Structure 1
Amino acid sequence: MEKRQQWDSRMIFIFAAIGSAAGLGNAWRFPYMAASNGGGAFLIPYFIALITAGIPLLILEFGIGHKFQAGAPTAFSKVKKGWEGLGWWSIGVSFVIVTYYAVIMAWVFDYLWYSLSLAWGDAPADFFLNNVLKLSEGPGHLGGFSIPVLIGLILAWLAVYWTIRDGVKSVGKVVKWTVPLPIIMLGILVIRGLTLPGAIDGINYYLNPDFSKLLDPKVWASAYGQVFFSLSVAFGVMIAYASYLPKKSDITNNAFITAFANCGISFMAGFAVFGTMGYMAAEKGASVAEVAGTGGIGLAFWVYPEAIRLLPFGSVVFALVFYIMLLTLGIDSFFSLVEGVVAGVSDKWGFGKKKTTIGVILVGFVISLIYATKGGLHWLDIVDRYVNNYGIIGVALFETIAIGWIYKSRKLREYVNPISEVHLGGWYDVLIKFIAPLALAGILVWNIVQEIIDVTQGNAYGGYPVWAIAVGGWLVAIVLIVGSIILGKSKSSYVMEEASEEVE
């Protein structure tokens, strides 16, 4: 078995963790989440969710990764015999996300090229859906590959291989650039956006507080959901990254730095997005709400390109800045998810890291081809919704149960405190044993209830046929759980150096 690699410095680890946490959702999900859930008032439940659940879970994952010096499956097998499957569940969720995240990165690569000529012209939405994706009429019609997407997909996977080919050594060299660069790009976009006519209207739309929203349970559920989705917890990534830390590395302070840096990037992105949306509204003589869209893919590939087209000068430059920002934000999350899978597989069977990396990338590439077809966007939408709403939340819930109740959060505190600047007290036990699992269970129940209501009313998600929801949503979820149980019970090909640590 290879000697475990280590990060070159604490700074590189923090950069890698921030890079994993801060992804595309920071730019296209958080600003819209805030704007539609009370504006500035949304920051209250958001920061409460961050302190009571997000950071405690991040500390949990940093702690067990560092203590057991292993990826998620092996780490949980050492937490308690029989719990290895939880680690494989998180790895499975990561791998599914990797397969479609690759295609989103492919679109970004394509748009770097299109930015040189502003190829989307006067109809960005039509260009993206019909010229780039050549979108079919539904998930039942794959219709062959979109060549631009296929080319971008190959570039995306090659970029990931080049980044993680030598493990944390090559990752460390890359994150020195890919973490600060999107922040610089965001800064440029913020300054440009705020200096445009109408920008203040956009910022008001983003942050104008509506405190009445704080009485809506859905707003609180959205805040907790956003925190869980944006910190890269429950993916196995942070466990793997922490396992490469030297023996006496800080845990808690690293978690606080990672979490607050991630939040800062999200908050900053809102000014870049809505400052520009305010200008776009002024140019079109419309309200911000009418031009802003709903975030997500639409923001990145037709709303913002439309705003860039309307700029009085420098459109090509700002198009390149925007897509370089998206590329550098997204690529860190992309390769961190792959690294989490590689760490889990390598630890379990003792395979060499380079061979494991090549194997995971090849399998991921083959599966990702379905999303490069003309029907790919439909499948991406379905799989993304169900993996996020049920997979991530389910893993996080069981993590809090495993550490809070079975392993005992007290034992984690006793391990973390001697090596950390910020010491955990009994309050941490309350958060991990009660607050975080209750919040996660509440979100999970809420999602299930809403799903049942929608199905009984004939409102299947996205208007997709029931069979597509069953295959891309529920079948994927079931395969992940069953596969995780099977892998958790399978034997390693080598004898573990340390026995599993049992509950006292």
Structure 2
Amino acid sequence: MEKRKTFGGSLGFVLAAAGSAVGLGNIWRFPYLAARDGGGLFLVIYIILALTFGFTLVTAEIAIGRKTKQSPLTAYGKLNKNWTWLGWISSIVPFIILPYYCVIGGWVLKYLIAFLTGHGIDAAKEGYFTDFITSKGEPLIMMFIFLFAVTVVIYLGVNKGIESFSKVIMPVLLVLVVGIAIFSLTITKTDDAGVTRTGLQGLKYYVIPNLDGLTVKKFFNVVMDAMGQLFYSLSVAMGILIAYGSYVKDDANLPRSINQIEIFDTLVAFLAGVMIIPAVYVFSGTDGMASGPSLMFVALPKIFASMGKAGTIVGIIFFAMVLFAAITSAMSVLEAIVSGMIDSDKRFSRGKAVIIEFIVSLALACLVCFGYNDLYFELKLPNGAVGQILDVMDYVSNSILMPIGAIATCILVGWVIKPKVIIDEVEKSGDKMGRKRLFTVMIKYIAPVCLFVLLLMSLGIF
């Protein structure tokens, strides 16, 4: 077994962990939910949950990783041999996610190339997105390029790959996010009826709580939406933070690093909304808020096209930013898988593990691509959604396995090994952990109950 590498410093760890959090789901899903769920109401609830629920799960997973110095596959067994099964659940999640994530990453690459080559106008035409994803060749090529790029970074290892890449890309990503957000606020458009909409009006729509028609049930649904978003935003319950935590040095200031990850992720999630919602509001009004691929790959290209020449530049910057975000997230997902292979079997070197997982993910990603043409089918999921291969994989990993894994982690930490084990690990460097009582109450009582409700909702039971 290879000697475990460590991050060179806390900055590398924070940027890598933040990079895993800032991904495709954050960029399109957070703004959509905020727009749908009452704007500022969703934001306030999300921030509260991030500081309580999110803090609890992030702290537990990072501390488990550093304490055991193991991947998610083997870490839980180190804590308690009867909980080895939880390591398998935690490892299956990234294994399922990586193939379809790389397919979507390929879509982003396609749109970036379209804008770079001056075909941004074509990307805004009706049917462009559907024609692309249902074609048989180009989606495979784009997916392969994306997966190969991610594989190269992970092949280079913790220091030369993950840490070095994150130190360069994450600051660039933040600058691009801030730049697009500022630009979005300056947009103004007058429609044919003489009605003028501005980016600042869109910002108000985003941040000011809309309590119209708010009921207890609707408020509860907003809370559940915000909690579900935390899985996407903070990369919890998919083994990533355990893997990254295992590379953190024992003398690192873990409380400070956890706080920085929280702040960075919440800031970028908020700015994602500032980037997208004001622009969509200006050009499409409140009717322009759509979920999923239709927002990023259909609505936004139309907005960029309506900006004229400036739209091409904005489109390039936007899709470059999204591509960077997608790569950093895919890196962390692949690392969670590779680290498990290395820790579970001494015959696996990093290079061998990366190559094997590359081949397996490539095969599964091809199936996802074919799911839009030769292997297309429609299946009604328990949560009421209708989808095909990609949607089924997303549902199983994000809506079923992740809540189950998170619930089990809460039970293990809260009732089996006890919260003090995690608290002692966090404070091992001599730095005091804030919110200790909150952590204990959340991990033992509140988090598992909320997660169980979220699981029931995903199963269509509640």
What's the TM-score once normalised by structure 2's chain length? 0.90
Residue 27 of structure 1 is matched in structure 2 by 27
Residue 433 of structure 1 is matched in structure 2 by 444
Matching residue within 301, 317, 331 for 1:305: 301
Matching residue within 402, 417, 423 for 1:413: 423
Residue 159 of structure 1 is matched in structure 2 by 149
In structure 1, what is the Cα distance between the partners aligned to 2:288 and 2:433?
Answer: 47
In structure 2, what is the Cα distance between the partners aligned to 1:122 and 1:156?
Answer: 20
Note if contact 2:186-2:199 (Cα within 8 Å) is conserved in structure 1. Answer: yes
In structure 1, what is the Cα distance between the partners aligned to 2:418 and 2:111?
Answer: 48
AA aligned to 2:355 is I
In structure 1, what is the Cα distance between the partners aligned to 2:361 and 2:144?
Answer: 11
Matched residue SS, 1:6:
coil
Q: Is residue 2:413 matched to residue 1:403?
A: yes
Residue 493 of structure 1 is matched in structure 2 by none
In structure 1, what is the Cα distance between the partners aligned to 2:235 and 2:126?
Answer: 30
Q: Is residue 2:121 matched to residue 1:124?
A: no
Residue 48 of structure 1 is matched in structure 2 by 48
AA aligned to 1:36 is R
Note if contact 2:114-2:123 (Cα within 8 Å) is conserved in structure 1. Answer: no
Note if contact 1:124-1:303 (Cα within 8 Å) is conserved in structure 2. Answer: no
Residue 111 of structure 2 is matched in structure 1 by 111
Identity %: 30
In structure 1, what is the Cα distance between the partners aligned to 2:123 and 2:262?
Answer: 39
Matching residue within 227, 237, 240 for 1:234: 237
Matching residue within 307, 318, 325 for 1:329: 325
- Listed one character per residue, the Cα deviations across residues 347-391 of structure 1 (whole Å, up to 9, x for unaligned) are 011211111111111111111101122336832123213321111
Note if contact 2:186-2:200 (Cα within 8 Å) is conserved in structure 1. Answer: no
The alignment's C-alpha RMSD in Å is 1.8
In structure 1, what is the Cα distance between the partners aligned to 2:430 and 2:456?
Answer: 35
AA aligned to 1:235 is M
- Listed one character per residue, the Cα deviations across residues 43-73 of structure 1 (whole Å, up to 9, x for unaligned) are 2221221122111110101101001101012
In structure 2, what is the Cα distance between the partners aligned to 1:260 and 1:122?
Answer: 35
Residue 357 of structure 1 is matched in structure 2 by 354
Q: How far did 1:200 drift?
A: 2.6
1:64–1:128 distance in 2 versus 1, CA, 3 Å: same
Matching residue within 187, 199, 220 for 1:217: 220
In structure 2, what is the Cα distance between the partners aligned to 1:437 and 1:53?
Answer: 10
1:108–1:122 distance in 2 versus 1, CA, 3 Å: closer
In structure 1, what is the Cα distance between the partners aligned to 2:438 and 2:300?
Answer: 43
Q: How far did 1:415 drift?
A: 2.5
Note if contact 1:90-1:236 (Cα within 8 Å) is conserved in structure 2. Answer: yes
AA aligned to 2:79 is V
- Listed one character per residue, the Cα deviations across residues 167-212 of structure 1 (whole Å, up to 9, x for unaligned) are 1021111111221222211122112211111213322332231246
What's the TM-score once normalised by structure 1's chain length? 0.82
Note if contact 2:120-2:305 (Cα within 8 Å) is conserved in structure 1. Answer: no
Note if contact 1:120-1:127 (Cα within 8 Å) is conserved in structure 2. Answer: no
In structure 2, what is the Cα distance between the partners aligned to 1:452 and 1:290?
Answer: 30
Residue 4 of structure 1 is matched in structure 2 by 4
AA aligned to 2:343 is D
AA aligned to 1:192 is F
Alignment of 1:194-213 (within 5 A): 194-197=185-188, 198-211=198-211, 213=214
Moved more, 74-83 or 97-106: 74-83
Matched residue SS, 1:372:
helix
Q: How far did 1:23 drift?
A: 0.8
Q: How far did 1:114 drift?
A: 0.8
Matching residue within 355, 366, 370 for 2:367: 370
- Listed one character per residue, the Cα deviations across residues 243-267 of structure 1 (whole Å, up to 9, x for unaligned) are 1111212222211211121010010
In structure 2, what is the Cα distance between the partners aligned to 1:427 and 1:314?
Answer: 48
Residue 266 of structure 2 is matched in structure 1 by 263
Q: Is residue 2:171 matched to residue 1:185?
A: no
AA aligned to 1:345 is M
Matched residue SS, 2:119:
coil
Matched residue SS, 2:44:
helix
1:278–1:14 distance in 2 versus 1, CA, 3 Å: same
Consecutive unaligned residues of structure 1, counting only runs of 5 or more, are: 135-144, 282-287, 454-504
Q: How far did 1:332 drift?
A: 0.6
- Listed one character per residue, the Cα deviations across residues 278-325 of structure 1 (whole Å, up to 9, x for unaligned) are 2213xxxxxx12223x23211111100000000043222111101101
In structure 2, what is the Cα distance between the partners aligned to 1:415 and 1:112?
Answer: 43
Q: Is residue 2:440 matched to residue 1:444?
A: no
Matched residue SS, 2:253:
coil
Matching residue within 351, 366, 390 for 1:380: 390
In structure 2, what is the Cα distance between the partners aligned to 1:120 and 1:232?
Answer: 35
In structure 2, what is the Cα distance between the partners aligned to 1:188 and 1:412?
Answer: 39
Matched residue SS, 2:82:
coil
Q: Is residue 2:249 matched to residue 1:249?
A: no
- Listed one character per residue, the Cα deviations across residues 213-234 of structure 1 (whole Å, up to 9, x for unaligned) are 4732111111111112310011
In structure 2, what is the Cα distance between the partners aligned to 1:43 and 1:421?
Answer: 30
- Listed one character per residue, the Cα deviations across residues 448-480 of structure 1 (whole Å, up to 9, x for unaligned) are 2xx258xxxxxxxxxxxxxxxxxxxxxxxxxxx
Note if contact 1:21-1:231 (Cα within 8 Å) is conserved in structure 2. Answer: yes
Note if contact 1:52-1:435 (Cα within 8 Å) is conserved in structure 2. Answer: no
Note if contact 1:417-1:423 (Cα within 8 Å) is conserved in structure 2. Answer: yes
Residue 389 of structure 1 is matched in structure 2 by 399
Residue 334 of structure 2 is matched in structure 1 by 338
Q: Is residue 2:15 matched to residue 1:15?
A: yes
Alignment of 1:52-63 (within 5 A): 52-63=52-63
In structure 2, what is the Cα distance between the partners aligned to 1:237 and 1:273?
Answer: 27
Give the paired residue count.
433
AA aligned to 1:252 is P
Note if contact 2:124-2:305 (Cα within 8 Å) is conserved in structure 1. Answer: no
In structure 2, what is the Cα distance between the partners aligned to 1:328 and 1:206?
Answer: 25
Note if contact 2:123-2:129 (Cα within 8 Å) is conserved in structure 1. Answer: no
AA aligned to 2:439 is Y
Note if contact 1:118-1:309 (Cα within 8 Å) is conserved in structure 2. Answer: no
